[in-house]
Structure 1
């Protein structure tokens, strides 16, 4: 079966492990029409659940466009330090916000996600399909996608929005005491959904906050070809500033999908039955990851996978762990959605009649790569505050002094009248 490798699993993996130090994608293959995802390198068909991920052309297009957002988001985090972000987690949060937004606020969110020509209904259906099937595609790999909306018990959110989030995003919608135990309950939810990798998302909660909207993603995959711990040795690693570090370098010789390009080489490392995999992109000497990522887009990422061939690879890969906390207000604003962070411009009237805006959007993410496989988790949260009520416009009145009037000259602070008089139209 000829398959397009830029599948929904590409999005999932980009959201989880793709953007750790290098970029990740999937070599999964997909039919053109009603897309049935069946990886071409499955070792044991019994490991594949009977529930395959089926997307319409429109839904698949929406998912693929999410890869553009993923790469754009990662480019906002360019630098010389190790980092990991989950664009898919951010996308789920923004999808929930788009459902509650109206007017320009909704338009900006959809455009930033790359969905300006995609209906909200199509986006919701695609995201729902991923939630419902991601955990069933590989019995050897654990994938959990969860959403939660914690609402201040003093605020009422609209039933239509609540139902939509519950039915489409499987979101847990709970009323909480923001002046009481809400902070503990919110962080406990993060800890549970990420299997302890992200024990908390926020350190304090304003009792006047309206809501905290969250997405959590957890991934635990075992390599199809595990590394032997006995082959892991301390070896040099050249940093950005030409400094030489000593890292735990894993090593194996095995058959992998591999491609050599002008500026870099890339390899696909499958997990479990091959449904999920990590793609490692290694710049050639003299090239930086920033340079590579500036040129990489969703289309080229798909082409990259199509160009790969089976090779016997002498593979060395560091064993590493990376944790990142990312403030998202500025990056998301710069990518095209600033109004939701501005009190006077945000329009989330589909959520509640109480005017609100996003005061803080942040993500905590962590990845652990070892001889056994990869664990990765992320929680993205948007804290919503009440917008200032727009000030009333002054009344429009007339004052035509075209008949006699009295006037006073006074001292402002004391009110003392220095002069008082009247004018009736005559002059000296």
Structure 2
């Protein structure tokens, strides 16, 4: 695999309307009791690793982060309008061979409910929206299924009106707490529909870093040079796992609902080796091998924003037909359409108190034409993964190759 400096975050991020966020006062149906829940989360996480791997191989940015869940939910909403070979391509890319569309929708709804069912110290907000050109005939059945299972807000707008672009970007900004001010720079003449997912996450650490212990330390870049960065340190019993390729630590957020997994290559390994080893099978096996251990953890503070168009990656994974003139989205409209782009923007800040992150994915549719104390010093490029405990969903996943903090 091609070696690069990169900073990526998989936050299997799922997206629902902010007003639909649940609270601890409203009981949820146990996730494991939903039919095919484990199969679909496994399929979603498999898609997450495949998407991450494809982007990693061509990415030249030192730091980057994606939200596979945000992409998954946005595309699953579009999947509700796919027919024929186009629908089969979605099934193949998302590994949905053994599940039906209604089962997928029901599980995704439950995932949204569980992710947004947060407690003190944590905020997880998900929002979905569908923006249709008021001259474009969208099928009511397509809108209704996305309203029912994805809490999607539907807006009919005049796409030739400049105020529509402002309205879409304001919606994005409002649903990411201003961390991502906009998703679109313009509305093209052929655009007829936008399916947008927004996600916002903020949580305190379960075990906070003492700011007085933060100090400048060298971070080793992939090109062999070093830079001074602000490093946070704690002494704590944390779940730890290592093999010949990497060592990993689970850093829990408040109330143990979410976890950031930090993955550091071993001395004779590289980030490339780590990424090539992260498969859905290995990921599931590793979860059973973490054990509590007394650690000294040193982690750089960092913050960055990232933007990526997923067209090439999704085509490489097998979804090319959805971008072609041969696409079949008969469930959306009787007018022939195709996906014109899938774009995602993300933001993350990690400091002594906790983590704040946001993601927005837009799909454009257009007409066709214990033991001794170990010191885990993250002083070179490393991977981080944020997951939700009950569903096992990967919310964010990233690589830090050149940390900076302002």
**Is 1:264 the counterpart of 2:246 in the alignment?**
yes
Deviates more, 1:310-319 or 1:133-142: 133-142
Q: 5 Å matches for 1:162-177?
A: 162-177=143-158
Aligned to 2:321: 339
Q: Which has the larger Rg?
A: 1
Aligned to 1:33: none
Which one has more relative contact order, counting CA pairs under 8 Å at least 6 apart? 2
Contact 2:10 2:68 (C-alpha < 8 Å) held by counterparts: no
Shift of 1:24: 7.3
Aligned to 2:28: 51
CA spacing shift, 1:364–1:330, aligned 2, 3 Å: same
Aligned to 1:410: none
In proportion to residue count, which structure has more strand?
2
Shift of 1:52: 5.8
Structure 2: gaps of 5 or more residues: 1-5, 13-22, 370-406
Contact 2:35 2:103 (C-alpha < 8 Å) held by counterparts: no
Q: 5 Å matches for 1:127-276?
A: 127-180=108-161, 181-276=163-258
**Counterpart Cα distance in 1 of 2:253 and 2:228:** 27
Residue by residue over 1:93-129, the C-alpha shift from the partner in whole angstroms, topping out at 9 and shown as x without a partner, is 1101110010111111121112122211111111101
SS at match of 1:338: helix
Residue by residue over 1:304-331, the C-alpha shift from the partner in whole angstroms, topping out at 9 and shown as x without a partner, is 1211111111000010012111111110
Instruction: State the aligned residue count.
Output: 349
SS at match of 2:343: strand
CA spacing shift, 1:233–1:53, aligned 2, 3 Å: farther
Residue by residue over 1:106-156, the C-alpha shift from the partner in whole angstroms, topping out at 9 and shown as x without a partner, is 111121112122211111111101112322143321111111110001112
**Counterpart Cα distance in 1 of 2:274 and 2:11:** 13
Instruction: Report the aligned-residue RMSD.
Output: 1.9
Structure 1: gaps of 5 or more residues: 1-18, 26-45, 389-428
Aligned to 1:86: 67
Shift of 1:303: 1.8
1:63 maps to which of 34, 41, 44: 41
SS at match of 1:94: helix
Residue by residue over 1:185-215, the C-alpha shift from the partner in whole angstroms, topping out at 9 and shown as x without a partner, is 1111110111111110011112441011111
1:376 maps to which of 357, 377, 382: 357
**Counterpart Cα distance in 1 of 2:261 and 2:229:** 20
**Is 1:75 the counterpart of 2:56 in the alignment?**
no
SS at match of 1:307: coil
SS at match of 1:337: helix
TM-score (norm. length: structure 1): 0.78
**Counterpart Cα distance in 2 of 1:214 and 1:265:** 36
